[in-house]
Structure 1
Amino acid sequence: MKTIFAALAIASLPVIATAQEVQIETAAGAVSVPAAPEAVVTLDLAAFDTLTALGVDVAAVPAVSPPAYLAEALAGKPTVGSLFEPDFEALAVMGPDLIVAGGRSQRQVEPLSKIATAIDMTISGENLLADAKARIEAYGKVFGNEAGADKLLGDLDAAIAQVQSAAEGKGNALIVLTNGGKISAYGDDSRFGWLHTELGLPEAFPELTAETHGEAISFEFIAEVNPDWIFVVDRGAAIGQEGEAAAVTLDNPLVAGTTAGASGQIVYLDSARLYLVGGGYHSLMGTIDEVLAAFTADPS
């Protein structure tokens, strides 16, 4: 009889192990992770943003000057290194159940996996919205909150549809990044390209080349393209860098003479959302709200 019970116990072990893990899609493909992990560390701000939206209490985060909209959520959290360099010793002492890396910490996934289960949840610039949605779905699965994930995805789709409707017939747009006195532009295949492809903003200049910091342009280029709308990302402001503000950089006759400049249709976006937390749920919703507000503002 003891032999029978022992055999039954051994046979049940794989079932128990399987029940304690869940398979999700990551930037590196399908992986198995602990189900409903208690101690979760994230080294990626987009991941922190989305996990917070799902009600997950993250145990530790990277040391970073936080975007204003995440400041309260990040306040008081233990820090374990930077966005690029984790503090492996602090993580080893903490012993988390799951480490979520990605983006700037993507290269650290392998060494982090020696401490705990580590996953690469990078959101690519080329497929930003699709990746962002996939991450929401994956986190919902990990934490047994599929209903919450579905709610976020539904709200996101509804917000996108609103902008698409509001943007219809409103003209084309140029996405410009300022970096001190330098300027560059982004097309539909870039990290900010979802503003074109998903929100329905026609490109003012479709031939732009995708680059990490955009394609370098001049004020003369902006004047020649003559966009109806200019959406501005201030890199210096996003990373807390001292220097010339975007509004100062773009304050010149060439930009002022464009349709966007003459019509008051130069929109300064919350740069930290886009530049530091691209693809996070709150980041996406905040940017979408800004674009919607621009298209629905009273022109008078």
Structure 2
Amino acid sequence: MKKILMTMMLFALMAVLVACGSKDEDATDDKTTGDKTEPKVEETETAEPMVITHDLGETTVEKNPEKVVVFDFGMLDTLDELGVEVAGVPQKNIPSYLSKYEDSKYVNVGGLKEPDFEAIHAMKPDVILISGRQSAMYDELSEIAPTIFVGVDTTNYMESFKENMEMVAELFGKEDEMKAELADIDERIAAINEKSSKSDAKSLIILGNEGKVSAYGLSSRFGIIHDVFGFKAADEKLEVSTHGQSITFEYILETNPDILFVIDRDAAIGGDASAKDSIENDLVKKTNAYKDGKIIYLDPDYWYLSGGGLQSVKEMIKEVEAVL
């Protein structure tokens, strides 16, 4: 009986020793102290999803996306200002102030109106940011990756602009930087309004395109000059249109603006024609704007190709400040 008990105790002791040895093998020796440290358990970070409501629908995207495709140049200049890296852009007609994105390290994702779906699909992007020129392809792009419409609503420019800025700041964790940027923009716009409200000068906004001219009024594509900056309109009945209302040079003389704002589309897209050559003709030279040296050629990079971004809006403000 005693032999049986001794044998059972011996087996029990061996089992304990084996268990302790197994535990020690899982532990890591601390070479400095000789102590045993428990193995670390790797924690996996789960990306935080963000639901974004925009003009074309509702999109769920993970915060801080790494592979970003941008079709809107205003949003591109915003991400550039915030120091956010992008992976793909449409490299044709990139504004000169964003020329660094013509580099081969960025994937060329096609044209503004003709995206290269094959190239975009091969990238496996985390998010695609689009505006009006790509809106008809929203569903097709959404099949590749979460797609967000970031075009600015010109009928409510600043509110739309700020919504876009706050959205992208939250998406990339740049809320503090964006808050400071928007506060500065608000302050500068208030100063412009204070001056423009005291002036009786009437202004007209036109786009020059291969010798043809279109006018833009309140709430239009370039209506920010009237709606936000407070410049009085020479003609308040102009139709609201993305492409503007086609006009003649006789119309410009009849309207007789004190300030004539000009956006040169030919210069923006690299055309051979010059808006100045066609606009500063004998009829326009009779206007108050020409006589007073107030024909203002706005930078088409900011006004035509981009706009609605942190950099472009600040540059637009700067050009209008110079007029006053």
Q: Where in structure 2 are the equivalents of 1:174-213 lying within 5 Å?
A: 174-213=204-243
- 2:285 aligned residue (231, 236, 256): 256
User: What is the TM-score normalised by the length of structure 1?
Assistant: 0.87
Query: Is the Cα–Cα contact under 8 Å of residues 73 and 94 in structure 2 kept in the other structure?
Result: no
Q: Indicate how the Cα distance of structure 1 residues 29 and 157 shifts in structure 2: closer, same or farther if over 3 A, else same.
A: farther
Matched, 1:230 2:269: no
Residue of structure 2 equivalent to 1:99? 128
Cα drift, residue 111 of structure 1: 1.1
Matched, 1:272 2:278: no
Residue of structure 2 equivalent to 1:151? 180
Query: Is the Cα–Cα contact under 8 Å of residues 183 and 216 in structure 1 kept in the other structure?
Result: yes
Query: Is the Cα–Cα contact under 8 Å of residues 155 and 219 in structure 2 kept in the other structure?
Result: yes
Query: Is the Cα–Cα contact under 8 Å of residues 239 and 272 in structure 1 kept in the other structure?
Result: no
Q: Where in structure 2 are the equivalents of 1:155-170 lying within 5 Å?
A: 155-170=184-199
User: What is the TM-score normalised by the length of structure 2?
Assistant: 0.81
Specify the code of the residue in structure 2 equivalent to 1:158.
Answer: E
- 2:71 aligned residue (29, 39, 43): 43
Q: Distance in 1 between matches of 2:64 and 2:254?
A: 54
Matched, 1:54 2:74: no
SS at match of 1:178: strand
Cα drift, residue 29 of structure 1: 4.7
Residue of structure 2 equivalent to 1:31? 59
Q: Indicate how the Cα distance of structure 1 residues 219 and 153 shifts in structure 2: closer, same or farther if over 3 A, else same.
A: same
Specify the code of the residue in structure 2 equivalent to 1:223.
Answer: L
Matched, 1:116 2:145: yes
Cα drift, residue 272 of structure 1: 2.4
SS at match of 1:278: coil
Matched, 1:136 2:160: no
SS at match of 2:155: coil
Query: Is the Cα–Cα contact under 8 Å of residues 47 and 62 in structure 2 kept in the other structure?
Result: no
Cα drift, residue 106 of structure 1: 1.6
SS at match of 1:66: coil
Residue of structure 2 equivalent to 1:11? none
Q: Distance in 2 between matches of 1:75 and 1:228?
A: 43
Query: Is the Cα–Cα contact under 8 Å of residues 140 and 149 in structure 1 kept in the other structure?
Result: yes
Q: Distance in 2 between matches of 1:156 and 1:27?
A: 24
Structure 1, unaligned runs of 5 or more: 1-15, 296-300
Identity of aligned residues (%): 40
Specify the code of the residue in structure 2 equivalent to 1:128.
Answer: Y
RMSD (Å), alpha carbons: 1.9
SS at match of 2:233: coil
Q: Kindly tell me the number of residue pairs found equivalent between the two proteins.
A: 279
Specify the code of the residue in structure 2 equivalent to 1:286.
Answer: E
Specify the code of the residue in structure 1 equivalent to 2:119.
Answer: A
Q: Could you list the per-position Cα deviations for residues 246-295 of structure 1 after superposition, in whole angstroms to 9, with x for gaps in the alignment?
A: 11112222211211111001100001211111212211111110111121
Query: Is the Cα–Cα contact under 8 Å of residues 166 and 292 in structure 1 kept in the other structure?
Result: no
Cα drift, residue 211 of structure 1: 2.2
Q: Distance in 2 between matches of 1:114 and 1:70?
A: 28
Residue of structure 2 equivalent to 1:221? 251
Q: Distance in 1 between matches of 2:143 and 2:51?
A: 19
Structure 2, unaligned runs of 5 or more: 1-43
Residue of structure 2 equivalent to 1:13? none
Of 267-276 and 248-257, the range deviating more from structure 2: 248-257
Specify the code of the residue in structure 2 equivalent to 1:175.
Answer: I
Q: Indicate how the Cα distance of structure 1 residues 55 and 27 shifts in structure 2: closer, same or farther if over 3 A, else same.
A: farther
4+ residue runs over 6 A deviation: none
Matched, 1:80 2:106: no
Specify the code of the residue in structure 2 equivalent to 1:118.
Answer: T
Query: Is the Cα–Cα contact under 8 Å of residues 73 and 305 in structure 2 kept in the other structure?
Result: yes
Query: Is the Cα–Cα contact under 8 Å of residues 91 and 102 in structure 2 kept in the other structure?
Result: no
Cα drift, residue 72 of structure 1: 2.9
Query: Is the Cα–Cα contact under 8 Å of residues 123 and 279 in structure 1 kept in the other structure?
Result: yes
Query: Is the Cα–Cα contact under 8 Å of residues 44 and 105 in structure 1 kept in the other structure?
Result: no
